[in-house]
Amino acid sequence: MNAPVIAIDGPTASGKGSVAARIAAELGWHYLDSGAIYRILALAGLQRGFALDDEEALAALAPALDVKFDGETIRLDGADVSLDVRRETTGNAASKIAVLPAVRAALMARLRAFRQSPGLVGDGRDMGSVVFPDAPLKIFLTASAEARADRRYKQLIEKGLPASLDSLVQELRERDARDAMRAVAPLKPCEDAILLDTTLISIAEAVAFVLRHARQRG
Ligand code: C5P
């Protein structure tokens, strides 16, 4: 039998990463930050001088990526890219390559391989709709663009990375539009997802909400 999955999807900076990581820790399950995989592929493509719309080259690169996750540290071809992966420029590049159907198809096996016993908490845009459609629990997190920009601003400043609140609101809106309008795996809650708006609640409250649902099903 397949290991159980909790799929947590939502727009950028909706809190899904923090919520998913804490739930995985709480349950002792594996954790998949699928956005990081798109970010790493974008970074690897840029390092090789590929254009962000070069679907064939990027799709060919996807299965060959040499990536290692070691706690908070991410290594690409042996080099520590943890900070580069978190830059807004990398997130924007990731959302450009994420519109390419062959790239999404090429990453599928990599993403599904994270599903291992005793269970997986996966966060992204299409965890519940495409990658793990049989996940017993699907959550869709939202929050206002302003609340999300504010959170992202604090995360970036904390990491010592450059950030401007005004341009973050603008970029989040552009990224949301690109993620929602694309033809393949667009960002939208699937029918069997439970919606949670995190604009006015804390991460701890969101975690408690998801754990309640997980235990009800468990
Ligand atoms: O979640 P994060 O902001 O790190 O994701 C970066 C970009 O990767 C997103 O804007 C989205 O375009 C893409 N992505 C995706 N499907 C996923 C995860 C991320 O298309 N499951």
Q: At how many degrees (to 10) do helices 101-112 and 34-47 cross?
A: 130
Per-residue pLDDT averaged across 153-169, rounded?
Answer: 92
Nearest ligand 1 atom to the CA of 38 is: 8
Would the pLDDT of 218 be above 80?
Answer: no
pLDDT tens for 8-28 read: 999 988 999 999 999 999 999
Ligand 1 probe mutation, 53, 114, 125, most atoms within 8 A of CB: 125
Would the pLDDT of 135 be above 90?
Answer: yes
∠ at Cα 55 (124, 52), nearest 5°?
A: 75
Would the pLDDT of 1 be above 80?
Answer: no
Q: Which residue has the tokens 């970036």?
A: 156
Would the pLDDT of 187 be above 90?
Answer: no
Instruction: Report the pLDDT value the prediction gives residue 88, as an integer from 0 to 100.
Output: 87
Residue type, 190: C
**CA-based diameter of the chain, in Å?**
49
Nearest ligand 1 atom to the CA of 178 is: 12
Cβ–Cβ under 8 Å, residues 127 and 34: yes
List all residues whose CB is within 6 A of at least one atom of ligand 1: 12, 34-35, 38-39, 91, 94-95, 98, 124-126, 175, 179
Residue nearest to atom 13 of ligand 1 (CA): 95
Q: Which of 137, 26, 45 is nearest to 100 (CA)?
A: 45
Would the pLDDT of 66 be above 90?
Answer: yes
* Strands 120-124 and 137-142, sheet pairing: unpaired
Residue nearest to atom 7 of ligand 1 (CA): 95
Per-residue pLDDT averaged across 136-165, rounded?
Answer: 93
Instruction: Report the pLDDT value the prediction gives residue 127, as an integer from 0 to 100.
Output: 97
Residue 70: strand pairing partners: 73
Share of the chain above pLDDT 90, in %: 84
Per-residue pLDDT averaged across 92-106, rounded?
Answer: 95
Nearest ligand 1 atom to the CA of 96 is: 12
∠ at Cα 89 (85, 91), nearest 5°?
A: 60
Ligand 1 probe mutation, 90, 95, 110, most atoms within 8 A of CB: 95
Domains of the chain: 5-217 (3.40.50.300)
Average pLDDT, the chain: 94
Per-residue pLDDT averaged across 94-119, rounded?
Answer: 96
Cβ–Cβ under 8 Å, residues 105 and 112: no
Q: Which one is predicted more confidently, 37 or 69? A: 37
